[in-house]
């Protein structure tokens, strides 16, 4: 696998983003929704992960007061288990802290064990459940929280994760 580059999501990426979105989700986000999110430049950050010319994944962050909320993090099924989700999350976490966030939060499907394992590696812990959050499947969401993301200890955690990725 070549080097993974994380770059800002642009309109030119939407065709591939939507292809991945539609292949991964029962109720995918629409082009209109992504366009609306991209327009909110002061409170949102959307990125894509590329490997050479291939768009392998994307992620989005919403900033609200001292929190960075991970809105989406999706990797093309052809690129699962290669560290791309971790690369995207490292970028989002650092960007959130750089924008003044002290804590990170997200929702994850109750039965998405690989995602929950990755988030746990990043210091996220379950703090609640949103019942029937994913209405299309009736699945609950686990609300996860990483406090003190602006601490030196959290920066070291990200550096250790990044170092392990570079060794793989």
Out of 37, 46, 58, 119, pick the active-site residue: 119
The verdict on whether 58 is a catalytic residue reads no
Q: Work out the burial of residue 27: count CB atoms within 10 Å of its CB; fewer than 13 is exposed, 13-18 middle, 19 or more buried.
A: exposed
What's the CATH number where 104 sits?
A: 3.40.630.30
Closest CA to 61 of 24, 94, 12, 84: 94
Among residues 37, 46, 58, 107, the one annotated as catalytic is 107
Torsion of CA 1, 48, 57, 94, to 10 degrees: 90
d(CA 79, CA 120) in angstroms, rounded, equals 21
Instruction: Report residue 41 CA to chain centroid gap.
Output: 17
- ∠ Cα 100 21 149 (to 5°): 20
Residue range of the domain that includes 85:
4-167
* Whole-number percent of the chain with pLDDT over 70: 98
Each residue's pLDDT tens digit, 22-68: 999 888 999 999 999 999 999 999 999 999 999 999 999 999 999 99
The three-point CA angle 91-132-69 to 5° equals: 20
Active site residue 21: no
Q: How many domains does the chain fold into?
A: 1
Could you give the CA distance from residue 164 to residue 51 in angstroms, rounded to a whole number? Answer: 19
Please state the pTM of the whole predicted model: 0.94
Q: What percentage of the chain carries pLDDT values higher than 90?
A: 89
């Amino acid at each position: 696998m070549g080097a993974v580059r994380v770059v800002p999501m642009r309109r030119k990426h939407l065709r591939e983003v939507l292809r991945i979105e539609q292949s991964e989700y029962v109720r995918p986000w629409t082009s209109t929704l992504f366009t609306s999110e991209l327009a909110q430049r002061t409170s949102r950050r959307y990125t894509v992960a590329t490997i050479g010319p291939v768009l392998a994944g994307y992620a989005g962050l919403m900033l609200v007061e001292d929190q960075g909320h991970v809105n989406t993090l999706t990797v093309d099924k052809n690129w699962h288990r290669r560290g791309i989700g971790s690369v995207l999350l490292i970028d989002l976490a650092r960007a959130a802290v750089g924008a003044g966030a002290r804590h990170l939060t997200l929702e994850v499907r109750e039965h998405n064990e690989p995602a929950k394992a990755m988030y746990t590696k990043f210091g996220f812990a379950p703090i609640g459940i949103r019942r029937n959050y994913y209405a299309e499947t009736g699945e609950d969401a686990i609300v996860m929280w990483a406090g003190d993301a602006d601490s030196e200890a959290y920066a070291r955690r990200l550096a250790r994760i990044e170092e392990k990725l570079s060794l793989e």
